[in-house]
Amino acid sequence: MSPLRLGVNIDHVATVRNARGGLHPDPVRAAQIASAAGADGITAHLREDRRHITDADIGALMGGIALPLNLEMAATEEMLGIALRHRPHAACIVPERREERTTEGGLDAAGLHNILAPMVARLTDAGIRVSLFIEPSDRQVEAAAKLRAPVIELHTGRYCHLEGDAQAEEVARIATAAAHAAALGLEPHAGHGLSFENVTPIAAIPEIAELNIGHFLIGEAIFIGLDASVREMRRLMDAARGGA
Ligand code: PXP
């Protein structure tokens, strides 16, 4: 089976730092530890309200890490300007509502075609690999393909909140969407809410090329350290792919 990349989202290192307004803990240091522990990329979400990652963090991450940076961003002119200035390896366009605690749903790639099409084109022209964070549905996968985004990230939030048969049905929905995306030439990623306990069925979906995981890894790092937290996730992902 093809290898599965791990993108470590370091937003909540910045959440803890911002609780006191100083410089500690430093998201760049967290990214370096994640890199040494087996991460393949670093993800950071610059939100409109800057509640965790700040503009300065994006500059520091671009300069301070060797791994590719995946910038999560809302589809706004402000964020487009920031992405074009920094030129991260990848940009994942996400829906954003100021009052939400986290990214609660997928992007309506179908309904927002006219807003997203020029944005995808401008990011792509700048050499940034664009990903669209969508719900695992045929409609959204087809809309992403029409937008000419090379990557989709399938929202696993619903999967993470379900149990039993309903959760198994959601895995099947995610697997179907990943296969559909791959057949259309898109590279499927997945993420949101993944943990040691629930990562295996998602990691086992063969078309999925990357998982982006943040909150659980940073939370677990409080108990076992960030290096051990990332290493264990890496091990579970590799095992799900039939590796060690
Ligand atoms: N992927 C996307 C597009 C996200 O918005 C987030 C949350 O910022 C994640 C993955 C990671 O989710 P979590 O922090 O729950 O692991």
Q: At what angle do helices 11-20 and 215-224 cross, to 10 degrees?
A: 70
Ligand 1 centroid to Cα of residue 8, in Å, is 9
- Global pTM value: 0.96
* Rounded-to-integer distance, Cα 51 and Cα 49, Å: 5
- 194 Cα nearest atom in ligand 1: 16
Helix (H, G, I), strand (E, B) or coil at 8: strand
Q: Is 72 a catalytic residue?
A: yes
* Rounded-to-integer distance, Cα 155 and Cα 131, Å: 12
pLDDT the model gives residue 198:
98
pLDDT the model gives residue 244:
52
At residue 82, φ and ψ (nearest 5 deg) are -65, -45
Ligand 1 centroid to Cα of residue 203, in Å, is 15
pLDDT the model gives residue 96:
80
At residue 158, φ and ψ (nearest 5 deg) are -65, -45
- 11 Cα nearest atom in ligand 1: 8
Tell me which of 43, 93, 216 to substitute to probe ligand 1's pocket, judged by most ligand atoms within 8 Å of the beta carbon: 43
- By the 10 Å C-beta count (0-12 exposed, 13-18 middle, 19+ buried), 26 is classed as middle
Q: Is 45 a catalytic residue?
A: yes
pLDDT the model gives residue 67:
97
* Rounded-to-integer distance, Cα 207 and Cα 12, Å: 28
- The CA–CA distances, whole Å, from 144 to 9, 116, 239 equal 23, 10, 30
What DSSP letter does each residue of 52-83 carry, written as one string?
SS-HHHHHHHHHH-SSPEEEEE-SSHHHHHHH
pLDDT the model gives residue 46:
97
Q: Is 24 a catalytic residue?
A: no
Q: Whose CA is nearest to atom 5 of ligand 1?
A: 103
Burial 70-96 (b: 16+ CB within 10 A, else e): bbbbbbeeebbebbeebebebbbbbbb
Which one is catalytic: 12, 86, 180, 192?
A: 192
Measured in whole angstroms, the distance separating CA 51 from the mean position of its chain's CA atoms is 17
pLDDT the model gives residue 131:
98
In order along its 244 residues, the chain shows pLDDT tens digits of 678 999 999 999 999 999 999 999 999 999 999 999 999 999 999 999 999 999 999 999 999 999 999 999 999 999 999 999 999 999 999 998 767 777 678 999 999 999 999 999 999 999 999 999 999 999 999 999 999 999 999 999 999 999 999 999 999 999 999 999 999 999 999 999 999 999 999 999 999 999 999 999 999 999 999 999 999 999 999 999 987 5
Ligand 1 centroid to Cα of residue 94, in Å, is 10
Nearest to 141 by CA among 167, 172, 173: 173
